[in-house]
Copies of this chain bind each other. A is one copy, B any other.
């Protein structure tokens, strides 16, 4: 513990220490199994128990009803950019995309290979400093779905009010804010999320999909690109990424033990507010996001100049606060403060920010 750093990485990202300690303790010899989770047949009872436990805990945490199925896939959100379009863009072969940053644009690029896309809203002209006003969206009532990126890691924006899509299913890339707060599952048709920010290590992608939407895909899709393959076999059609799913299960247990998503949202709000208060109280630090669109997960900000930003990142690292450099495409500073970032980490950062501003302001 003593020499662990505060890791502000945007992803893969910090995991709860107690989760890591459990994984460490069980690594060579999972209780009563005589082997590591990494050595278990995916068809063996101890692994199947882990698999079902992860599904059940996700269902409990996110309050997911039986209209939805929970899938474990591989390939990250990037593969979902294609799979969503391949599986759901039927029968109209049309979809609405709302563009709020680099990841939305990549999702759009892949969807365009599969059908006709309407950009129903974009904050690109505002340099992605906000989420588009939902009143300005040009949604197509005949679209097969509407796609949003619920949180934008690079720009530090987050949807705080969902667009009304009527009967058109809403598809959300929640890679960077899944389980950061309670959501209304019934407002969504499909949710996908790479695990490596809020859920666990890289290597597993969570897909939560309304069952009726599974029927849309044509049988001609490659087997491994058809959600039905995974739904029919409960994500055990082929060998799943067992270890990553085990880690997701442990992370979900940690969330449940700590009050579920309502409590997580409170902690996340409190942590983010500590930094936003600092940004708002003087001239030295400058937030880059409109207040109403601020993310609770990724807080980007600027200093008076780039030399000071470099100095800030370097001094923070020496104090055990790592990965505070902004994304290479935008520069500046970014503090990613996912579920597992302890409040002490944020307090240490804010104390350092205050001290750094005093010394350099």
Q: Which residues of A contact B (CB under 8 A)?
A: 1, 3-5, 7, 9-15, 17, 20-21, 23-24, 27-29, 34-36, 38-42, 44, 74-79, 81-82, 106, 109-110, 113, 194, 196, 200-204, 220, 222-225, 237-244, 247, 320, 322-323
Contact = CB atoms under 8 A, between A and B. Distances in A.
Nearest to A197: B239
A39 B27 contact: no
How many copies of this chain?
Answer: 2
Contacts of A27: 20, 23-24, 27
Contact of A82 (B20, B41, B223): B223
Contact of A40 (B12, B204, B239): B12
A28 B20 contact: yes
Given A36-B15, A38-B20, A203 B244 contact: yes
B38 A224 contact: no
Given A75-B224, A224-B81, A320-B34, A241 B244 contact: yes
A203 B40 contact: no
Nearest to A225: B82
A12 B41 contact: yes
A244 B241 CA distance: 9
Contacts of A224: 75-76, 78-79, 81-82, 110
Contacts of A220: 113
A44 B36 CA distance: 28
Contact of A75 (B12, B42, B75, B194): B75
Given A75-B74, A202-B243, A243-B243, A15 B39 contact: yes
Closest 5 pairs between A and B when the two form their complex, measured CB to CB:
A203-B241, A5-B34, A38-B201, A74-B74, A82-B222
B202 A9 contact: no
A202 B42 contact: yes
